[in-house]
Amino acid sequence: MKQLQGVITAIKTPNTAQVTVTRQWQHPMYGKSVKRTKQYACHYVDMKLVEGAEVIIESCRPMSKTKRFRVLELVAKAA
């Protein structure tokens, strides 16, 4: 299963959280740091999540049209 680490950006629907995953790498030719972000709709149940919290998400079976990931664990709470 693919696991990613990201930050919760929105919790507006029941059992669904929008998680933003940021990845950064160095461009092979120019050497400049390149940053890309992607948002995932993630399923969660019985977790106390807040916006700004850092979580680990894992790929799973499709749960709806957009949900293909689930929240595995809470890494750090939002300040």
Q: Where are the domains of the chain?
A: 3-76
Give residue 70's Cα distance to chain centre: 9
Q: In degrees rounded to 5, what are phi and psi of residue 66? A: -115, -15
Confidence of residue 24 (pLDDT cuts 50, 70, 90): very high
Looking at residue 79, the DSSP 8-state letter turns out to be: -
Q: Specify the CATH number of the domain 3-76.
A: 2.40.50.140
- pLDDT tens digits for range 48-75: 999 999 999 999 999 999 999 999 999 9
Contact assessment for residue 40 and residue 57, using Cβ atoms and an 8 Å cutoff:
yes
Q: What is the pTM of this model?
A: 0.89
